[in-house]
Amino acid sequence: METKAIATKIAAAANDKKAKDILLLNMEGLSPVTDYYVICSAGNSNLVKTIADNIEDKLGEDGVFPKHKEGYADGRWILLDYGDIVAHVFLEEERDFYNLEQLWADAPSEAFVENSNE
């Protein structure tokens, strides 16, 4: 599976569980660590966990598993590291505080828009 396709699948899985403001940041050429960040948020920690769980489940169906996971116990900022793609599932106020979009403002960004034909 291509990197962009995996990033889009992560975004779609987040969208399935009502994630807000889903954003894909193209980090190619900007970060030696990853090619894409997928950033989204939710209004409460239970929903943050539900979104992260769905991302893991949907990618797992394709045999894609995170190399590392952080923040699940607190449910305020869950990071799922898939190597070339890192998913950040934030509690809304955590996302506002850390503001990764501003930190990586040079990265081309793309808001996720659900494709109704799928």
pLDDT in tens, 64-105: 999 999 999 999 999 999 999 999 999 999 999 999 989 999
> Of 48, 50, 88, 94, nearest to 66 (Cα)?
88
41-71 per-position pLDDT tens digit = 999 999 999 999 999 999 999 999 999 999 9
The pLDDT of residue 118 is above 90: no
Place 1 in a pLDDT band, splitting at 50, 70 and 90: low
Work out the number of other CB atoms within 10 angstroms of the CB of residue 37: 25
Q: Top-level CATH class of 3-110? A: alpha beta
Q: Which residues pair with 25 in a beta bridge?
A: 37, 109
- Calculate the average pLDDT of the chain: 93
Instruction: Output the six-digit token pair for 31.
Output: 């970060």
The pLDDT of residue 115 is above 80: no
